[in-house]
Copies of this chain bind each other. A is one copy, B any other.
């Protein structure tokens, strides 16, 4: 690990990247795709990716199908799944900034009866998080697939579909 990487503190689980790419891949297949196939395609540990897919299943984003022809598939059209849903399913739906109410502690503690409204600092942090969430809510899995396809001059998604069909 390089020095630069060590200075950077990781705040979001790296599984978010795998989950988003997996959703984009699933949007290109009409049939269920096994977790092991997705892991091979993305070069990730199979068992760990499966754990994240389970989280997506609990969130209602994907549906699992057991058996020989089983696997994972999207429950809704890709245009109706926002990136925010995927991130929240993996990383947790709680706020990143958690107010401990330290204003109610110490010699100058504010009485609880005056703390009906959140602290001004907590309000500012919550507003920033809302802006972050809104930016992600406006992007759908279909948008991401289209952009990746455009970056590859319209060859990437077709290659994915071909690979999925060939190794079925």
Residues of chain A having any CB pair with chain B under 8 Å: 7-12, 14, 16-18, 20-21, 24, 40-44, 83, 91-100, 102-103, 105-110, 114, 117, 119-125, 127-129, 131-136, 139, 144, 147-148, 151-152, 156, 159-160, 163
Interface of chain A, helix or strand or loop or mixed? helix
Q: How far is the CA of A8 from the CA of B163 in the complex (A)?
A: 38
Candidates B17, B94, B151, B163; contact of A117 at CB < 8 Å: B151
Interface pair A106/B43, CB less than 8 Å apart: yes
* Residues of chain B contacted by A152 (CB below 8 angstroms): 110, 114
Interface pair B139/A92, CB less than 8 Å apart: no
Report if A94-B14 is in contact (Cβ < 8 Å); known contacts: A102-B21, A107-B163, A120-B148: no
Interface pair A40/B106, CB less than 8 Å apart: yes
Interface pair A10/B98, CB less than 8 Å apart: yes
6 pairs of residues in contact across A and B, judged by CB atoms under 8 Å: A7-B92, A7-B93, A10-B96, A41-B108, A128-B133, A131-B131
Report if A124-B108 is in contact (Cβ < 8 Å); known contacts: A131-B131, A132-B131: no
Interface pair A11/B96, CB less than 8 Å apart: yes
Interface pair A102/B8, CB less than 8 Å apart: no
* Residues of chain B contacted by A41 (CB below 8 angstroms): 106-108
Q: How far is the CA of A43 from the CA of B106 in the complex (A)?
A: 5
Of the candidates A7, A24, A43, the one having the most CB atoms from chain B within 10 angstroms of its own CB is A43
Interface pair A11/B119, CB less than 8 Å apart: no
Interface pair B148/A105, CB less than 8 Å apart: no
